[in-house]
Structures are given as C-alpha cells and as structure tokens.
Amino acid sequence: MLRETLPKACLEIVPYVPHREAVAYLFRSDVLLLIVDEAPEAAFIVPGKVFEYLGVRKPVLALAPQGDVARILAKTRAGVTVSGRDAAGIARALWDFYRRWEQNTLDDRGMDLDAIQGYSRRTQTKALAGVFDETLFATKSLSH
C-alpha cells in the first residue's frame, strides 16, 4: 500500500539484512516505524525493538494499540502512537514528521533523554540485578 501511495524518494523498503546492518539503517533514518499487532493482548507487549529505537534517539511512529509501547513513547517523548487502523491519524503523524523534517527539527530536542536513559540496557540490567539481589537476600533471611 505504501509503495503505491508515497513517492519513491520518501520510502525505502529494505529486504532482510543482518542485525548490525539493520542498526546502521536506524541511524541513517529520519523516522523509525514500529508496527505492533492490534490484538487485545498486544497492549501489554513491548518488543525489544522499542529499546533499540530509543537508543538511536530518532522519532518513532508506532502503529500500535494504546498500551505499554504508547506509554513508553509518551513518557520519553520519543514518538507518537497511532492505531494501525487509523488512516487519518497515520496521515497526520506522517505530515507532522514531514513538516519537522522540512524545518530541520526532526531530532531528539523534544525527547526526555533522562527517561530514555532509564530504558538503556545498562540501566535495565542494573535494575534487574537489584531484583535478583533482593530475592537472594529475602531467600537467605527466610532460611535462617
């Protein structure tokens, strides 16, 4: 559908590439597209790709239900979430990204970089290690 609608210069469809090459594409992109299933349980699913996208600090257009992905993007101000079924909403979001691109303001200026840092691998691993430490400490306390 997008192929027929958008000018070729606005959209590049890339076949499967290795992960390292895919990440390089992210850094060269102006806007990142994230598509999440619209099934009811998908509102509670956060694909790992979300965290990679946050690390790249590029604006994200998420076609997703209003759920955890939408909350993360809103908290970090890293992008917008629109239902994949909302053609008018998608068009508005694309138009807004295009205007920002034309004005050279399509960058991380409006993003909450501290909130984004909270989702980094290092920060998340540290938090998980804390949970493990608490669990081990609680287990040791119970056994004495």
Domain of 27, CATH number, reads 3.40.50
Which of 22, 117, 35, 111 has its CA nearest to residue 73?
111
Q: Is the pTM of this model over 0.75?
A: yes
**pLDDT for the residue 12:** 75
Give the C-alpha separation, 67 to 16, whole Å. 28
Domain with 27 in it: 2-143
Main-chain phi, psi angles of 82, to 5 degrees: -135, 140
Could you read off the pLDDT of 34-73 as tens digits, one per residue? 999 988 888 898 999 999 999 999 999 999 999 999 999 9
User: Higher confidence at residue 18 or residue 3?
Assistant: 18
Element (H, E) at 135: helix 121-143
Question: What is the domain count for the chain?
Answer: 1
Element (H, E) at 48: helix 48-56
